[in-house]
């Protein structure tokens, strides 16, 4: 099997709670390889593109506001079946439904914001990963070694 590369975004709740290192360590413990990592502020434009499927919804301004509370950390992560495996490690999008031992179960928000304040975004398919990696990393920022 050929290794895949996926995008992970450490969301503002993970950055603010200073848990990014603990979460990254869980990914690395699975043998995944960092191919790119950077901290960045997300512009209105990049958020509108990334969330184009909900950009016209009345709740989008609150999503945008949350994603701009702090910088985020963008991570390009490589490994065998990394997309599915990372999503399994994270647990369900709703942190309140995530089991203990998953990243969202252990670190996610446990109230009405549990679907948004859920530690990380992760690509959900090879096609999404390819598009998202191009959105968050410029040419030359993802490394092969």
Q: Which CATH fold would you assign to the domain 4-136? A: Alpha-Beta Plaits (3.30.70)
- E strand or H helix at 64: helix 60-67
pLDDT tens by residue, 13-66: 999 999 999 999 999 999 999 999 999 999 999 999 999 999 999 999 999 999
Q: Is 109 a catalytic residue?
A: no
Contact (Cβ atoms closer than 8 angstroms) between residue 77 and residue 86: yes
> Among all chains, which residue has been given the structure tokens 């928000």?
109
At 114, the pLDDT band (50, 70, 90 cuts) reads confident
At 98, the pLDDT band (50, 70, 90 cuts) reads very high
C-alpha 109/C-alpha 145 separation (Å) is 36
> Among all chains, which residue has been given the structure tokens 């969202």?
104
Please check the confidence at residue 2 and state whether its pLDDT lies above 90.
Answer: no
- E strand or H helix at 35: strand 33-40
At 73, the pLDDT band (50, 70, 90 cuts) reads very high
Catalytic position from the list 50, 53, 109, 121: 121
At 79, the pLDDT band (50, 70, 90 cuts) reads very high
- What is the reported pTM? 0.95
Q: How far is CA 71 from the centre of its chain?
A: 13
């Amino acid at each position: 099997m050929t290794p895949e590369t996926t995008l992970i975004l450490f969301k503002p709740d993970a950055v603010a709670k200073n848990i990014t290192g603990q979460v990254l360590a869980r990914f690395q413990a699975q043998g995944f390889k960092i191919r790119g990592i950077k901290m960045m502020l997300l512009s209105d434009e990049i958020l509108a593109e990334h969330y184009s499927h909900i950009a016209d919804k009345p709740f989008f301004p609150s999503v945008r506001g949350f994603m701009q509370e702090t910088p985020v950390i963008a991570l390009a992560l490589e490994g065998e079946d990394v997309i599915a495996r990372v999503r399994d490690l994270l647990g369900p999008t709703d942190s309140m439904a995530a089991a203990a031992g998953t990243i969202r179960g252990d670190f996610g928000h446990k109230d009405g914001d549990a679907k948004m304040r859920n530690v990380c975004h992760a690509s959900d398919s090879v096609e999404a990963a390819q598009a998202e990696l191009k959105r968050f990393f410029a040419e030359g920022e993802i490394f092969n070694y």
